[in-house]
Amino acid sequence: MRASRIAATLGARVAIAESGRFGGTCVNVGCIPKKLFAYAAHFRDVLKDAADFGWNVPEPSFDWTRLVANKDREIDRLNGVYERILANAGVRILRGRAVLRGKNEVEINGDTVTARHILVATGSWPQKPGIPGAELAITSNEAFYLEQLPKRALVVGGGYIAVEFASIFNGLGVATTLAYRGARILRGFDAELGAKLGEEMGRKGVAVILNLNPVSLSRQGNAIQVEFNDNTKQEFDLVLFATGRKPNTAGLGLEAAGVKLATDGAVVVDSYSKSSVDSIHAIGDVTNRLNLTPVATAEGMALAKTLFGGTPTPVDHDNVPTAVFANPNLGTVGLSEEVARERFGRIDVYKSAFRSLKHTMGASEEKIFMKLVVDAASRRVVGAHMLGPDAGEVIQGIAIAIKLGATKAQFDATIGIHPTAAEEFVTMRDPAAS
C-alpha cells in the first residue's frame, strides 16, 4: 500500500491487485488486532493495581464476544480508510488474485494487465509442523476469530507470536501453557532479555516449559490430547501453533517469470528490493529480510523513490527498533550482548532491575529490566533493551539516539525525567561484571 500510494504521488500510473482485505497481515490478523487483544489482557493487572491505590474494585468479569465484535468493527473501519487512501491517491484497485505471466504481465480474473514494473508484496503465512493431528490446532490467523475462549490453552513456539498470545490468553483468564523446543524463548534477541521475560510470564501464571515439543495431537472427547517428545501427555481445549511463517510465493508464477527464490520460498532481492528480473521487485515479509510492518512500509517508500522519484534509495536495516507485546512488554534496538561481544570483542554492559514505583504500593513482584550495550573502544551505545510496561514506547525514543551513534557519555549527560522508569537509561553509571 505504501509503495502504491507514494508511486502514484510521484506521477506513476499505479494499479494494486488484492483478493482479500486491505492492510495485509498487520491490520487484519497481525499487529493491530493483536495489540487490541493485548490491551484487553493487561486490564486484569490494572484492576489489581487499582485496589492498591484505594479503589474499590468489584470482582470483574470478561466478555470475549464483545471484545471480538469491537475489534472487528475497528478493523472494518481501517480497511475502509486504507481503500479510500489508495483511491484518493489515484491508484486503480483490481479485485482478484494476481499471477505473473511474464516479466511485464500479470493475470487477474482472466484479464491480462501489463506494467513496466511489477511489485510482489504478498507477505507470509503461518505454518504448522508436519505431525499427526496438526489439523486439530489453530494458528494466529484463527485466534482472532474464536467463537469462545478456551479454559485450557497450549501455545507452541518461542518467538514474538507465541509469547504474545500466551500472555493474551493468560491475561484473559485462560490456563495457559507455553511449550518451546529450545532452551530459551525469543531466540535471536538478547539472551538475558528472553530469559527474564520467561521468568516474568511464569510469575504471572503462564506455565513456560522449555525443551518440550509436541509430537502428535489427537481428539479426546471435547479436548485435544497432546503427546510431547518426553512421552508425556496433556489435554487442552485449544492448541495454537506459533512455529514460524513462510513467504507467500506459491502459485504466483514467479519461477516461470525467472524470479529467483530462496529455499524457504522468499523472493531474493538486492538492497534496492529488485529481484533477479529487472522489472520485478519485492518488499516485506515475502523477502524474509526483517519481517516487521514498519520495515515493509519503509521498503515500499524507498522503492517508489528509486523507480519514480529519481533517487535510488536502499533500505537501511540496521538499528531497527522493535517491541514484543507480551506481558510484560519488551522493547529492543541495536545489538544484543552476544552479537556485540562477537563483533567488537571488548564491550561494557550496563544493567538495572527494579520494581516500578507503581508496584511499590502493592504485592506485585514484577521487575523492570533495562540494559545498555556499549562498544568499549568508541564508547558508542550499540544496543538498548528493556523489559517492562510500555517498553516499546520508551525504546522508540532511545532508538533515535542509537541511530545517531550516541555515546555512553552523551546518555550520561542527559538529565532524566523523574520519577519515571525511562530515566534509568540515563542514570546507569557502573558497568556490570564481565
The residues annotated as belonging to the active site are 418
Label residue 189 exposed, middle or buried (CB < 10 Å: 0-12, 13-18, 19+).
Answer: buried
Grid cell listed for 7: 508511486
CA 148/CA 236 separation, integer angstroms? 14
Label residue 327 exposed, middle or buried (CB < 10 Å: 0-12, 13-18, 19+).
Answer: buried
CA 278/CA 314 separation, integer angstroms? 16
The partner residues of 384 in beta bridges, in order of sequence, read: 333, 372
**Residues with Cβ within 8 Å of residue 38, at least 6 apart in sequence:** 164, 167, 168, 171, 325, 326, 327
CB 129 within 8 A of CB 229: no
Nearest-CA neighbor of 176 among 148, 200, 147, 205?
A: 205
CB 212 within 8 A of CB 252: no
Question: What DSSP element (H or E) covers 157?
Answer: none
Nearest-CA neighbor of 36 among 162, 138, 147, 172?
A: 172
Unique residue bearing C-alpha cell 511489477: 118
Rounded to 5°, the CA angle 268-28-4 comes to 50
